Structure formats: structure tokens, C-alpha cells
Amino acid sequence: MVKETIQIFARLKPPSRKHQQGVCAEQLGTGEIYSIDEDEKLTPSLEIILPRDLADGFVNNKRESYRFKFQRIFDHDAKQEIIFENIAKPVAESVLAGYNSTIFAYGQTGSGKTFTITGGAERYSDRGIIPRTLSYIFEQLQKDSSKMYTTHISYLEIYNECGYDLLDPRHEASRLEDLPKVTILEDPDQNIHLKNLSLHQATTEEEALNLLFLGDTNRMIAETPMNQASTRSHCIFTVHLSSKEPGSATVRHSKLHLVDLAGSERVAKSGVRGQLLTEAKYINLSLHYLEQVIIALSERNRLHIPYRNSMMTSVLRDSLGGNCMTTMIATLSLEKRNIEESISTCRFAQRVALIKNEAVLNEEIDPRLVIICLQKEIQELKDELAIVTGEQRTEALTEEELLQLEKLMTSFLEDQDPESRLEVGADMRKIHHCFHHLKRLVNDKKTLGKSTGPSETKNQDCQEPLREEEYRKLQDILKQRDNEINILVNMLKKEKKKTQDAGLLSSMDRSEIRSSQGSPFPSGNPQEGQRTSSSLVPAQAQDFGASRYRSSLLHKKTGMRGEMSLGCQEAFEIFKRDHADSVTIDDNKQILKQRFSEAKALGESINEARRKIGHLKDAITQRHMQQVALGISENTAVPGVPDPQEEELRLQLEEEKKRYRTKFTRLKALKVEIEHLQLLMDRAKVKLQKDFEAWWAAEASSLQVHSPAANPLGPVKPFPQTSESQQDRSQLPSNRRDLTGRNTPPTPCPSPVGREQCSPSTRPEVSISERPTSSIPLTGDSQTDSDILAFIRARQSILQRKCKCTHLQLHEARASALLAST
Ligand code: ADP
Ligand code: MG
């Protein structure tokens, strides 16, 4: 059992980009707001200093600085790798050792919880704790051949006190609200079970990563502007690990919860109303219950801990004051306007640090193996009983039983140990059978002894020296011939394989060229240099296929593009071009392209190395054969003395193998990176499409308002009348409205310069709403009219943003042509 308090770490977020680029960076400079004291080596502390203008109004006693102790404090420049190495790696180790573990991130919205737990959506180097931990765990599992491991993944989202399975296949067809809710069941031992939460087996890092991205994309798709679930829900990604030693009946289970909590900001500050207030109240309620549990746990002698008050505390019951090693990361966005929230986060962390957990190894006996053992024991007891009661067992021994006895007797007779025993159990039939068998053996030996007469032996004896020499010589020759035959057979096999490989390799090359997305990886065990790519590539290709299959499913779900009208498609093209994410997608595309060509080149040089290894091996075999042949004909081979040429070849072979292994390791890393980038891109594409869909629907609904005569664009999702905190709004681009109350595309100007250009003050106010509807000629056909109206709207907002370029002019020309033709 390991008794440990919950470990608390603080991670500071870099100042937001807006501030970094802002004019008065030093004013907002965080240096005056906080300082980290690392002198106290064991418990570093974070001092938050209240600026004078805030101190007066903030607290009555006019305290001006607060000091909080943490296990470690990571300043804003700490990279994701450092966070993994220092926080998550030790946790992953304890999960591998069989202990339940939890890492949870707590902090206000925008402080970096998701960035820390899952990672950034842009760069590979920004991947967070989950992908890095998965990578580490699978690497360790691969290294450890002493146990059999099974890994399962589950991904739960708790939103408004309801649980949803982010990996539920029905996500493809439903909205979040339509999915079956995950519910909590408690068994008589007060263990928590989650009904409707699916567990998915993951045998490789790639499979686990696919599940993570699938869950994240499902979460993003389910999120509507009305439910900004990502800031208002809790997400629990769980890795379930079981291990068993071969032959043992004991199974070890451990769970790793990686938790991204809802934003911890208070309702009062964000001042939300209506529906959002209900949500905010819920989050607050759920975090409030978390706080209550933590207070109860940190107080000594408290008998009742109110776990049952909320779903989240019920699910995390073991992580809080139970059988678990728990780590908390307090994420802080230490800017002036966030001071209040930051202090509250730190206070929460201080209370959490008082909680003691007791983690035990979760071992359980595998019932199937126990049944086998018990059956054996029952049989033995029956046998003993039969002897004791004198009961005769008359039925014949089965074939298996006889075979088993033969084996036992053979090993007994061959065993040189005089103490060894023949254990056949208490079955008289078996004992009798063994005696009969031994009797037969003794008799056989006797008859053999009689048949070899003394004269013969004598005769044999006198010829012995001669025969023995001859016999040895013959044996040597036989051995040599055997060797040669083996070598020749091997050579033949290799030749055959080479011809097969040549065929497969050329077809693989063709498929690589055909598809830039196809895998360029000749994978396989780096230890086995001689394995050919052909036997391994298809499995890799399947992996890629699987991830593409998933993403295509996701695309289908958002699948608006499939049914897009021409106008809608054009608008999408413009929208895509101006969307901030398209820069990321393009960047990632470039990186992906580079990585692909690097992987391809590496793949080729690995194939080359493999060919060289093959040649060297052939050369060694040939040389060996020559030596053997020479030895036979001239009797010159001196056994035990190595042939220098062969030695040289062997050295070269080792060198080549080393090179092969280095390249292979690099290729493996590249493969993980490429897959990650592909998943990031898939997700970005889905997001782009989703943003467009929302914007398109909003445009249509605003047109409907201004032009009731116009035909509606089908069902339209309303946009939220949000009044969220400023910060929220900056992160939820689809919620932005321009001065006329219309929605603008979520991120219309990728660069800050662009953003300035389209600021309301500089924008020429030529709004379509001001134009009389009758001035727009309509065709009467609902689809065409809605396209025209939506197109004009799209064009208008682009014009307003002054993003004039040839592309737009082209569209303008097309629009005029379209209008003229109607
Ligand atoms: P939260 O999940 O707490 O609401 P996010 O993780 O979404 O916050 O972070 C908000 C924004 O800040 C994101 O754009 C994220 O990429 C960025 N961010 C957060 N932490 C860091 C960090 N340590 N380094 C760089 N960017 C960060
Ligand atoms: Mg988040």
C-alpha cells in the first residue's frame, strides 16, 4: 500500500497572443503580478502580487500578496515535454506497476487545461499529456515480455450532470442529447460501475490515439453554440490496464484517469443569464461539490464524504481520498484581469494537497484459472477417497491419461537425480499401469542382454580402435554434408523469397507513388533485418486505412459538403480561404508533405540497407561454404580458427544492422508524428466545416429576418444570445457579431493586421439589410433563391472586410452573371 497526499503542480500559461503583440506589453507584463520562489528546493512557492489598483477593491483587509506552495511550479515557458517528464511519466509508471492513478487539470477557462491534458491543435510538439502517456505506456508494454497486458480505453464527458460516452458509435448519428446517458451503478461493496460507457480495446499506440481523436471530434461535433461543452463539461479519458504473468491465475488491474475539468470561473463574474446560467450553475454546482468533497477529505475525523452529490465526484471517488495516486495540475493564466480566479485556483490546490490517498495493488484471481485448479484438486481428492474407502475403479484409463503417464515415466527414468519421484496421484489404476510398464522395460532389457553373445562382443572388442576411427570420420563427413545441404536449402529459400519480394516491392512502390497518403513505412521488427517489407507493409496500410475510415465517418456526420449547392460550395471556398484554421491546415499539410518525403526516403534507404544485409549474409554463407569445401578436399581447415575474410564480412553485417536499426527507429517516430498530424488535420477540417455550417445557417436566418419573402434555407440553427465573459468570447469565434447584429464568419481574418482592417470603426457600412429586398431579383425556385441570397450575404461580408483579391472579383463577376441570368 502506498500512502500519499495528492501531488499539486502549478502551470502558468504564457500571456495571450493579443497581449504579446499589444502595445503595452510591459504594463501587462506578468513580472509584476507574480514571482516564483524556487529557493526553497523542496516546496517552491508562487507569490501572487495584487496590483495596487486592484488591492483596494478586491479584499477588505488590503492584503497585497498571496503565497502558495506547490510540488513544482512550471513557468509559462515550460514545454509540453517537460510537463510530461515531470508530472505524467511518474504517474504512468505507477499505473504500469498496478496502481490506480489520476491526473486532473483545474483552472479557469482559457488557462490551459485542455492544452495540458490533450494538447494544442496545431503542432505535433504541442501534444499533451494523453498522447505522450499513451506513447510511453505502449512503449513500456512492448519492452516487457514477462507479462501479458490488455489495454482498454474509455472517454466520458459529463455535461449538466449527465454522462455521455464520447466513443459511442451512435455519435455518428445523434446529437449529444439523444445519446443514451451514462449512469452510475453502485454494487453492494460500494464500487462504482458506469452503465452505457463503452470500453474499447487498444492494442497499439495508434489505436489508442485514434480513439482519443475520435472522442475529441465527437465532442466538437456535439458542441453547438448553445452548449459550449468544451468549457462547461468535464472530460475523463481513462486507460484501463490489466496484466497477468503467463501461467499465473492472478490478474492485476489499474486505471489511469486523465481529467480535463470544466472552467472553474464563478458565475458572478461571467454574469450569465438564462440557459447559460443554468449551465454555469451546473458547472459551478459540480465543481462546488468537488470542493465540498475536498474540504471534507482535508478535515480530519470527517465520517461522511459527500461523493454522491454529483456525477463527477462519484466517478472520481477513488481518485479523491481513495485507492489512487492522484496529481492535480493547477493551470493559471496570470494576467491582471484573472488575478481573482488565479488566487481561487491556488487556494483550491492548497486544500487538495491536504488529502491523503491510499493506493493498493488491485489484484484479482482469474476465475477461469481458479476453476481449472479446483477441478484438478477435486480429481485428486476423489482418487484419494477411492483408495481410502477401498472402492475399486474399474473403468479404463483414457488415451490422454495414458499419454500423460508415459510422459511422466519417461522423464522419471531419464532424470539423473536419485531423489526424483514418480507422482501419478492416488489412482490405483495409474499406479498399476506404471508398474506394468516398468516391468515390461526391465524384461525387454533382459532379452536384449541375452541375445548379444560373448564371442561377438570379443570380436567387436578387437576391431574397436579401427571401427571407432572410421566411425568418427564418417560422422564428420556426414555432419559436413548435412551443413552443406542446410546451407544450400537456405540459399534456395532465400532466392525464392527474393523473387517474391521483388514482385511485391515493385507493387508497393507503385502504390506509394499513387497515394501521397499511403504509408511509406516498411515496418517490422528492427531486430530482424532480414524480414522483407512486403510481409509487413499491408498491416501498416491497414492502420492508415482505419484512421481514414474513422475520419471519413466523421466527415459523413458533418457531411454538408456532399449536399452543397453550387452557391454554398463557392461560399465555402471563400470561407475556407479566410478561416484562421486554414493556415494551420496548410502549414500541417506542408509539414506532412515533408515528413512523407522524409519517410519515403528513409523507407528506401531502409530497403537498401535490408538488401545490403541480405547480400552480406549471402556472401558470408558462400565464403563459409567455400571454406568447408576447401577443408574437405585439402584437409586444411583448422577447426576453431576463424577465417579473417568471413570475420570482416560479419563486422560489415553488424555495422549495416546497426544503421538499419537507427533508421528504423527514426522511421517509427516519423510514423507516429505523421499519424498525429493526419489526425490533427482531420479534426481541423471537421471544425472548419462545422464553423462554416453554423455561419451559413446564421446568414440564412438573418436573411430570413430581413427578407420574409425569401425562401428559408431549411432548418436553421439559432445562434446564442450569449453574454459570456470577455474571455469566453475571444475563444468562441462563432459567437461574434458585428455592429449590425449579424454574424461574421468565425475567424475571418487570419492575421491580426487583418483583424484590425475589419474592425467596425473602419468598415464601410454597406449592409445588405439596408438594401430593400425587392431590389434583389429572385427566381422563385427555393434552392436557387436561397443560394443567391446567401451568396450575396457572403460576398457582402467579405467586401466589408476589404479582403479584396482576384478570387473575390471572380465571385463578384459570377454573382453578377447569375443575377443577370435570372
Ligand atoms: P482551457 O482548456 O483551460 O479552457 P485551453 O487549453 O483551451 O484552455 O487554452 C486556451 C488557449 O491558450 C489555447 O489556444 C491554447 O492553445 C493556449 N495555451 C494554453 N496553455 C498554453 C501553453 N502553456 N503554451 C501555449 N499555449 C497555451
Ligand atoms: Mg478546455
Query: Which has the higher per-residue pLDDT, 243 or 421?
Result: 243
Would you state the pLDDT for residue 87?
Answer: 97
Q: What is the pLDDT of residue 815?
A: 53
Average pLDDT, integer, range 662-683 = 88
Q: Is the pLDDT of residue 382 over 90?
A: no
Distance from C-alpha of 259 to C-alpha of 240, rounded to nearest angstrom: 14
The amino acid at 394: T
pLDDT bracket for residue 724 (50, 70, 90): very low
Q: Could you report the per-residue pLDDT of 410-451, keeping only the tens digit for each?
A: 888 888 888 888 888 878 888 888 898 888 888 888 777 666
Exposed/middle/buried for 506, CB within 10 Å: 0-12, 13-18, 19+? exposed
For β-strands 7-12 and 325-332, DSSP reports them as: parallel
Task: List binding-site positions.
Answer: 107-114
Q: What are phi and psi of 156, to 5 degrees?
A: -110, 140
Residue 172 CA to ligand 1 centre (angstroms): 28
Question: Which pLDDT value is given to residue 703?
Answer: 61
Q: Give the model's pLDDT for residue 62.
A: 57
SS3 of residue 608 by DSSP? helix
Q: Whose CA is nearest to atom 1 of ligand 1?
A: 110
Query: Which of 193-202, 203-212, 218-227, 307-316 has the least mean pLDDT?
Result: 218-227
Tens of pLDDT, residue by residue over 768-818, are 444 444 456 666 677 777 777 777 777 777 666 644 444 444 455 455 545
Nearest to 117 by CA among 283, 234, 289: 234
pLDDT band (50, 70, 90) for residue 153: very high
pLDDT-derived band at 203 (thresholds 50, 70, 90) equals very high
Between residues 202 and 380, the one the model is more confident about = 202
The predicted-structure confidence for 297-347, as pLDDT tens digits, reads as follows 888 778 888 988 899 999 998 888 888 999 999 999 988 888 989 999 999
Mutation to probe ligand 1, out of 83, 115, 333, 683 (largest number of atoms < 8 A from CB): 115
CB 26 within 8 A of CB 336: no
> What pLDDT score does 256 carry?
96
Cα angle 431, 437, 442 (rounded to 5 degrees) comes to 125
Alpha-carbon dihedral angle through residues 205, 107, 731, 558, given to the nearest 10 degrees: 40
pLDDT at 636: 60
Mean pLDDT of the chain: 74
pLDDT at 108: 93
Decide if pLDDT at 736 tops 50: no
The answer to whether the CB of 13 is under 6 A from ligand 1 is yes
Cell of 73: 511550479
Among 103-107, 121-125, 155-159, 726-730, the least confident range: 726-730
Q: Please report the atom of ligand 1 found closest to the CA of residue 105.
A: 3
Alpha-carbon distances of 680 from 213, 282, 584, 686, rounded to whole Å? 8, 31, 10, 10
Is pLDDT above 80 for 276? Answer: no
Please state the rounded mean pLDDT for residues 699-714: 54
Q: What is the C-alpha radius of gyration for the chain, rounded to an integer number of angstroms?
A: 37
How high is the pLDDT of residue 135?
A: 96
What residues are paired with 9 via a beta bridge?
A: 72, 329
Alpha helices in 452-536 (DSSP H): 454-514
Closest ligand to residue 115's CA: 1
Q: Give mean pLDDT, residues 225-229.
A: 58
Query: Could you tell me if the CB of 791 is within 6 A of ligand 1?
Result: no
Nine cell digits for residue 342:
488565479
Strands, E assignment, 579-669: none
